[in-house]
Structure 1
Amino acid sequence: MSTYMPNDYVNQQREHIVQTYRDLHDLAEPSWKEEKTSHYLQERLQEAGFSVHTFAGHYGFVAEIPGETTEVVALRADMDALVQEVDGVVKANHSCGHDAHSTMVLHTALALSACQIRPHKTIRFIFQPAEEKGEGALQMIRDGALDGVTMLLGVHLRPSMEVPYGKAAPVIVHGASTSIRGVIQGLQAHAARPEKGKNPLEAAALIIQALQGIRLQERCPFSVKITQLQGGGETSNVIPERAEFTLDLRAQTNEGMAELKEKTAHVLHTVAALTTTCVEWKYGSYVPAATVNETMIKLTEEAISKVLGPENVADRCLTQGGEDFHFYPLEMNGLASTMVGLGCDLKPGLHHPHMSFAMESLVYGTQILSNAVSEAARA
């Protein structure tokens, strides 16, 4: 039996933890293409004696520390990077912290293994693809990666304005989000004779205006906004035949999202009838709102307090950002889950091409996860 406790072991691994992060940051691969990232993580675990289970058709995988029972406590990391423009070049770029999440979950596994933690429950480490597309969690569920899991933890870096540096929140209350991609089909005409045409751009303007008037009975924070609009060619004196648009929809609850979708659809139907244009649309990727579990919040509060002190347990982190982590409790009936919000001096914000954060947070983030997971496995 090792004489080390996880916190002590993690402290000794500071340089290795930071180097792991740098390695993963440089690999940066988009959703469903996380080949090098996955292989890197698998090799590190196999070197430590873990048996790794992979799945056909993607690069997600799981590794376990066997327990005395088949009941499973799981810790999840996401592996994919965003595809975005960075200094004029479109490329895969880790600006959402998934490289940091994978680093902390990897080193939590290594710490618990090195300290020879002997859990009552089996501990499973889930490395998930395609979070940015909102598809990876559902795929891992279909593949059986959540079989036997009764408790699930996750972690996400938080911007400074949400969780201060040196603190951590026991839960991130994400909202639900989806998108709508649509086409407005009008009638082309000369700009000097607008009455002969049906202007799809004017229809789009009416849509934008009408969306601003939406109110929800659910009384939760929400937003619906246009994020893309394209129509017409290079000629300035022609009313275009069609316009393409994208809407972003967000609501703090799943009930609010259902109402927002209904009212947005009503706006699109109404504008189409008013302008006699044809408006066709379909929903894009969807992620549900968080499911708050008080037992898991208490467990993570205790882990944060043990590592950072009770004064550094932050309030619940409320954000309209989305996360496909919340498919797990939604789809797996009875699954208790929470996601730790890690204060890390993250600036200027998530998804910014030059996002940065304090490396020290990787160390105390790993300690928090190690304490929370080991305690859950003893429960």
Structure 2
Amino acid sequence: MKELKTLVQKYKAEIIDFRRDLHQHPELQFEEFRTTEKVAEVLDQLEIPYRKTEPTGIIAELVGANPGKTVALRAYMDALPVQELTEDIPYKSLEDGKIHACGHDAHTAMLLTAAKALKEVQAQLKGTVRFIFQPSEENAQGAKAMVAQDAVDGVDDVFGIHVWSQMLSGTASCVVGSSFASADIFSIDFKGRGGHGAMPDACVDAAVMVSAFVMNVQSVVSRETNPLDPVVVTVGKMDVGTRFNVIAENARLEGTVRCFSLETRDRVEKALKRYAEQTALMYGGTATLEYNYGTVPVVNDEEDALFAQELIKENFGEAALIQKSPTTGGEDFSYFTEHTSGCFALVGCGNPEKDTQWAHHHGRFNVDEDAMEIGVELYGQYAFEYLNK
């Protein structure tokens, strides 16, 4: 443990430089070609064998001197279509309308640095460390693509990290059980009968239908689901009407459902369909629901989560470990844990003195770079101690 801690300090400047380079050159989902090449360059220097996945991404393996299990460490590389609003940083995004607004640049830098540190203790490793540099997390497709390309074949355990601006730098969390919610997308098309705005009696107003649905749909949460089983139904977009004096014939809305139970997910989907169809029928129109399953909930394995908690306390002190409540944010790490045991940790990167407390996906989001040391060390210690325990 002391040796890995020393190695992390040795590479501190390199962690920051690599992260800042990625921050200046953000790439969106399945477009992370430059990022993939930058990671490959470092792996070549380290003489760690790897293979590129399609269309982007890398899977590398470090085989220890002694036989043993295989543990996978996962990070992701994609940015967001968000305009960077921070003006006073020397590594501001050079891509208009694109920014690493969720910390994936830090994740990639942390995992790559963990690979450097583990390479130096390769002779002490019993087993294999697999490094998964995943593309396209923001649209929940990357993990699925990596699994299809054998990312978890032969893996005994998988560990992931996300920097978290809503936690103070110097802290970390890895809860037992539910960590992230499922993240589904739905759309509903309402159909009425258009006409002149001065003659509503001759029409069926889709604007009224969609408005009534939005006002009533939260009853699905308050009256049709278990109050002890959290669920969120959000309507984020509506498109209705063509002109100020035309009764709308068509209306379309889009939204998301987040929950921690697959049974609740199924119940909400059926309720949305019923609410949409009956609301439209009440006004003389029709409605069609399209419901697309996204990620399943991330549920941390109990033994793994407790193991990670002990590592946090041993390496960073008792005060560093916090029990962060589950979030209804989505996370496609769940596609890995469908195939093997594992857990997912959060590393605090919020620091008001450095203006890094902004919410994820905000244009001013940034990372307290001192927090990346904890991420690197936690990656390295988890792999080393898992294989050697």
TM-score over 0.5 for the pair = yes
Question: How much has 1:102 moved relative to structure 2?
Answer: 0.7
Q: Distance in 2 between matches of 1:337 and 1:292?
A: 6
Once the two structures are superposed, the pairs formed by residues 94-109 of structure 1 within 5 Å of their partners are 94-109=100-115
Aligned to 2:98, what secondary structure does the other structure show?
strand
Question: How much has 1:275 moved relative to structure 2?
Answer: 2.1
Residue in structure 2 matched with residue 347 of structure 1 by the alignment: 357
Question: How much has 1:146 moved relative to structure 2?
Answer: 0.7
Q: Deviations over 1:69-122 (max 9, x none)?
A: 3631000011111112445x9622110111111111110111110233532221
Correspondence 1:242 to 2:250: yes
Q: Distance in 1 between matches of 2:193 and 2:307?
A: 60
Amino acid corresponding to residue 373 of structure 2 in structure 1: V
TM-aligned CA distance change 1:98 to 1:285, over 3 Å: farther
Question: How much has 1:19 moved relative to structure 2?
Answer: 0.5
Once the two structures are superposed, the pairs formed by residues 171-182 of structure 1 within 5 Å of their partners are 171=175, 173-182=179-188
Residue in structure 2 matched with residue 65 of structure 1 by the alignment: 62
Q: Deviations over 1:149-179 (max 9, x none)?
A: 111000001132xx33211002471111111
Aligned to 1:227, what secondary structure does the other structure show?
strand
Amino acid corresponding to residue 109 of structure 1 in structure 2: A
Aligned to 2:330, what secondary structure does the other structure show?
coil
Correspondence 1:213 to 2:219: yes
| Counterpart among 46, 51, 59 of residue 49 in structure 2 | 51
Correspondence 1:361 to 2:367: no
- Normalising by structure 1, we get a TM-score of 0.93
Residue in structure 1 matched with residue 309 of structure 2 by the alignment: 301
Aligned to 1:174, what secondary structure does the other structure show?
strand
Question: How much has 1:27 moved relative to structure 2?
Answer: 1.8
Contact 2:269–2:291 (CA under 8 A) maintained in structure 1: no
Residue in structure 1 matched with residue 353 of structure 2 by the alignment: none
Amino acid corresponding to residue 197 of structure 2 in structure 1: A
Question: How much has 1:193 moved relative to structure 2?
Answer: 1.0
Question: How much has 1:218 moved relative to structure 2?
Answer: 6.7
Residue in structure 1 matched with residue 260 of structure 2 by the alignment: 252
Contact 1:230–1:245 (CA under 8 A) maintained in structure 2: yes
Contact 1:134–1:285 (CA under 8 A) maintained in structure 2: no
Segment drifting more, 301-310 vs 41-50: 301-310
| Counterpart among 321, 328, 336 of residue 341 in structure 2 | 336
Residue in structure 2 matched with residue 202 of structure 1 by the alignment: 208
Aligned to 1:291, what secondary structure does the other structure show?
strand
Once the two structures are superposed, the pairs formed by residues 241-280 of structure 1 within 5 Å of their partners are 241-280=249-288
Q: Distance in 1 between matches of 2:192 and 2:83?
A: 32
C-alpha root-mean-square deviation of aligned residues, in Å?
A: 2.0
Once the two structures are superposed, the pairs formed by residues 133-212 of structure 1 within 5 Å of their partners are 133-160=139-166, 163-171=167-175, 173-212=179-218
- Normalising by structure 2, we get a TM-score of 0.90
TM-aligned CA distance change 1:258 to 1:204, over 3 Å: same
Question: How much has 1:284 moved relative to structure 2?
Answer: 3.9
Contact 2:103–2:367 (CA under 8 A) maintained in structure 1: no
| Counterpart among 79, 92, 98 of residue 92 in structure 1 | 98
Amino acid corresponding to residue 91 of structure 1 in structure 2: G
Q: Distance in 1 between matches of 2:96 and 2:249?
A: 30
Q: Distance in 1 between matches of 2:257 and 2:205?
A: 25
Correspondence 1:115 to 2:121: yes
| Counterpart among 120, 124, 134 of residue 130 in structure 2 | 124
Contact 2:313–2:319 (CA under 8 A) maintained in structure 1: yes
Residue in structure 1 matched with residue 88 of structure 2 by the alignment: none
Question: How much has 1:143 moved relative to structure 2?
Answer: 0.8
Q: Deviations over 1:208-258 (max 9, x none)?
A: 12212113037311111211011122x311112211211121113333222
Residue in structure 2 matched with residue 374 of structure 1 by the alignment: 384
Q: Distance in 2 between matches of 1:148 and 1:70?
A: 12
Q: Deviations over 1:269-319 (max 9, x none)?
A: 211222222222323461111122111112211221122112211114411
Q: Distance in 2 between matches of 1:282 and 1:361?
A: 41
Q: Distance in 1 between matches of 2:195 and 2:204?
A: 8
Contact 2:277–2:288 (CA under 8 A) maintained in structure 1: no
TM-aligned CA distance change 1:378 to 1:211, over 3 Å: same
Residue in structure 2 matched with residue 35 of structure 1 by the alignment: 33
Gapped regions of structure 2 (runs ≥ 5)? 86-94, 351-355
